[in-house]
Amino acid sequence: MAIPTSTSGAAVHAAGIPSPSAPSDPVGVLALQGDVREHLAILNGLGVDARPVRTAGELAVCAALVIPGGESTTMARLIEAFDLEAPLRRAIAGGLACLTTCAGTILLARVIEDGLPGQLAFGVLDLTVRRNAYGGQQASFEAALDVPAVGSEPVRVAFIRAPTIESVGPTVEVLACHDRRPVAVRQGRHLALTFHPEITGDPRLHALFLRGLEARPGAGAPTG
């Protein structure tokens, strides 16, 4: 399998998989801080109207939201300082589906271990996550990950100062494990990852998320 570079890879992979019917409403990428550009590139490669979101007004028009990788404590500070917590909670309670990678997964978790005192946790995903559980940057790694929900070909992904998922609630479906720990999970229409498919450019997990949007909120998501 050719290893694509971050932005050009989306189109290469997209040609090989069934194209999801792109949602007609825009998909937002929370753009307070982090690897926003890479998520926008993958979504655009999948034919989605993808937009950066930094304000409640920009959030209001989105059908779904990607919360990218970055520094979870920085994003939390900005969400608090610019009064985005309530609009995000309302939108998610109203059915906004989220795809989260790394820091995004930490933000939406129910319990954060090794976070800052009082670090904002939305409690949307019934997960306990541990920040920086693999160690510092020198322990960051690439891996080829089996994710049966997106096909038999392993997904090449990057774990960058990644968190681990220490435990999952009963409504959480584990889609992939690494080192015997869950690294990709689905809860309703939310898809949460501890790694970065957007850095390696494989669009299949984004495509899986988009296909899940076609399901009615609350109905079981298709298994891909």
Distance from the Cα of residue 87 to its chain's centroid: 19
Which residue in 160, 184, 192, 213 binds another protein (CB under 8 A)?
160
CA-based nearest residue to 6, from 203, 162, 207:
203
Residue 114 gets which letter from DSSP? T
Distance separating alpha carbons of residues 99 and 191, to the nearest angstrom: 5
Residues known to be catalytic: 102, 196, 198
CA-based nearest residue to 28, from 3, 45, 48:
48
**Least distance from C-beta 27 to another protein, angstroms?**
19
Distance separating alpha carbons of residues 66 and 75, to the nearest angstrom: 13
Instruction: State which residue, 108 or 145, has the beta carbon closest to another protein.
Output: 145
Considering only residues 101 through 130, tell me which ones interact with another protein, judged by CB under 8 A: 102-103, 114-116
Check if the beta carbon of residue 202 is closer than 8 Å to that of residue 8. no
Q: Does 163 help bind another protein (rule: CB under 8 A)?
A: no
Q: Does 214 help bind another protein (rule: CB under 8 A)?
A: no
Q: What is the chain's length?
A: 224
Which residue in 9, 28, 34, 104 binds another protein (CB under 8 A)?
34
CA-based nearest residue to 98, from 11, 179, 206:
206
Instruction: State which residue, 2 or 219, has the beta carbon closest to another protein.
Output: 2
Which residue in 142, 181, 211, 224 binds another protein (CB under 8 A)?
142
Contact footprint for another protein (CB under 8 A): 1, 3, 6-7, 31-38, 54, 69-71, 73-74, 77-78, 81-82, 102-103, 114-116, 131-132, 135-146, 154, 156, 158, 160-161, 178-179, 196, 199-200
